[in-house]
Amino acid sequence: MNDTADDVLFPPLVPYRTGRLVVDTLHTLYWEECGNPNGMPVLFLHGGPGGGLSPNHRRFFDPAFYRIVLFDQRGAGQSTPLGEYRQNTTQLLVADIEQLRALLGIDQWLVFGGSWGSTLALAYGQAHPLACLGFILRGIFLGSRAEIDWFINGIQWFYPDAHQRFADFIPEDERGDLIHAYEKRLFSDDPAVYLPAARSWNRYEGSCSFLLLQDEQGEPDAESDRVSLGIGRLEAHYMLHDCFFSENQLLDGIDRIRHLPAVIVQGRYDVVCPPRAAHRLLAAWPQAQMRLIPDAGHAALEPGTVAALVAATEAFRLRRRFD
């Protein structure tokens, strides 16, 4: 019998410390620590942008060994204001991570990120390589225009039904430029305009994230609307600005982190962040290890992906134990 994600993850745990970090006049970040206060520090970077944390994110790491640090990025989860796109750039997120590291008194940490979290992990590592012990990266997204166009338009070749719903939300005369049509609605001041657009955006991504079909989402509630608003607004904001990168910036900066150990975990059938990006990253960084999961899409909690991620955190644990 095949293991489920819940079988592979470490048992549920609760934070031993939480806090709020004021990073500027607009944004305040929620952060938490779990596991061993004296353990090896590891930083978890969530996806999106705007995806926020879930309790399962704490469970990729052995809590007896790791000091697990998690936080909601600007505009996401329990950080405030929710869905705020002003004063929200990749460079500011990188600076926020450094503020958090200083606040917690951490010299170096392992950096773990999936999807947009992999993007932010690479950007952070290249800006602050001395703060990093290594990287575990899943579902690689390099922030290129080709990847953004694929998300908005290309996914229809594999999920035409999901893409049709995504497009049908927009009046027919605006469907030739979906991202700008969604922009007009997502950044409205009227909840009656921006919330339905955010729900449509989030449903589109969620419908394409698993290799095997998942149950349809139920009626929106307050929690799902929080997630939708963070993801819809911030993903659109970052995509409209090319993720605040120059073209090929993350590949061109690999020399700054080439010496650090890295594991790349990629679903073979990831349609949201196709394997081409992981292949390009590995070609630029052949010292990294690639784990291509033959029966997985994009989602972190598909069984094969979970097993590879936990194996990677365990490998880092054993490596540090015997260094």
User: Which residues are CB-neighbours of 155 under 8 A, at least 6 positions away?
Assistant: 162, 163, 204, 208, 271, 272
Residue among 62, 72, 96, 270 flagged as catalytic: 270
Mark whether 115 is an active-site residue.
yes
Q: Where exactly are the structural domains of the chain?
A: 5-144+245-322, 146-243
Band of pLDDT at residue 307, cut at 50, 70 and 90: very high
The pLDDT score that the predictor gives to residue 5 is 85
Q: Is the pLDDT of residue 322 over 90?
A: no
Which residue, among 130, 148, 136, has the nearest Cα to 245 in the 3D structure? 148
56-94 pLDDT, tens digit each: 999 999 999 999 999 999 999 999 999 999 999 999 999
106-116 pLDDT, tens digit each: 999 999 999 99
The pLDDT score that the predictor gives to residue 146 is 97
Band of pLDDT at residue 8, cut at 50, 70 and 90: very high
Q: Where does 5-144+245-322 sit in CATH, by number?
A: 3.40.50.1820
The pLDDT score that the predictor gives to residue 214 is 61
Q: And the tokens for 228?
A: 């939708």
Residue among 27, 46, 128, 298 flagged as catalytic: 298
Band of pLDDT at residue 320, cut at 50, 70 and 90: confident
Q: And the tokens for 256?
A: 């700054």
pTM, to two decimals? 0.96
Q: Is the pLDDT of residue 213 over 80?
A: no
Question: What is the rounded distance in angstroms from the CA atom of residue 249 to the CA atom of residue 235?
Answer: 19
The pLDDT score that the predictor gives to residue 223 is 66
Compute φ and ψ for 17, nearest 5 degrees.
Answer: -155, 140
Percent of the chain with pLDDT over 70: 95
Residue among 115, 118, 207, 228 flagged as catalytic: 115
Mean of the pLDDT values across residues 294-318?
Answer: 96
Mean of the pLDDT values across residues 156-170?
Answer: 98
Question: What is the rounded distance in angstroms from the CA atom of residue 240 to the CA atom of residue 277?
Answer: 19
Beta strand 66-71 pairing with 40-45: parallel
